[in-house]
Chain A
Amino acid sequence: GQQLNQSPQSMFIQEGEDVSMNCTSSSIFNTWLWYKQDPGEGPVLLIALYKAGELTSNGRLTAQFGITRKDSFLNISASIPSDVGIYFCAGQPPGDSWGKFQFGAGTQVVVTP
């Protein structure tokens, strides 16, 4: 299957700092999703992107669908302690049935006061 590379694998940041993470692939995707997972829970959808170049915000979160359709970025501004968790990107390859997303391995975010 296609490789979806998510980086960084983990990051330790101070409260108030901005956070950036990204997902890249050698192949194009039609849709990008960004999820956050808290310990012991299922992933929760943060932002969905449907068009190349699309920039979408959800509170302090901003995500972009890369213009090449091979990457996506998630930024968190002014981090707070509850931003701790694992963030996943997911991409929907063209030609596949809806919902057959591929997930990145996740970025673990740790926020220190």
Chain B
Amino acid sequence: DAGITQSPRYKITETGRQVTLMCHQTWSHSYMFWYRQDLGHGLRLIYYSAAADITDKGEVPDGYVVSRSKTENFPLTLESATRSQTSVYFCASSDSGRGYTFGSGTRLTVV
């Protein structure tokens, strides 16, 4: 199916574990983004990527790692999950100059 998909939709993990959130888009958009959404903070940019193998930090990158070996995939890894990383994570993709399209989100709970 065309579009942007995130997996899993829901994830519970323990403090200290590594967890990877997946994002896949079928449009061949150059730009991809990871946001986290928390009450009172709205959407905050974690990392973004302008093309394959090009990534850059956003507003809140600490504790996260990204990679983009292929244009269509942009996984986000929490190297050692903490409770403060409990959040809803959204991936988005975009062509330059246009607004971007969000995935449906991954709700992550760190216990």
Contact = CB atoms under 8 A, between A and B. Distances in A.
A42 B50 contact: no
Contacts of A101: 45
Given A43-B90, A43-B102, A48-B99, A106 B48 contact: no
B33 interface: yes
Q: How large is the interface on B (under 10, 10 to 19, 20 to 34, 35 or more residues)?
A: 20 to 34
Contact of B96 (A98, A100, A103): A98
Classify the secondary structure of A's interface with B: loop
B97 A98 contact: yes
Interface residues of A, number: 22
A48 B44 contact: no
A42 B59 contact: no
Interface string A57-97: 00000000000000000000000000000001010000001
Contacts of B40: 105
A104 B42 contact: yes
A99 B50 CA distance: 9
Given A45-B101, A98-B50, A99-B31, 9 more contacts: A41-B105, A42-B92, A42-B104, A43-B43, A97-B56, A99-B48, A99-B94, A103-B44, A105-B40
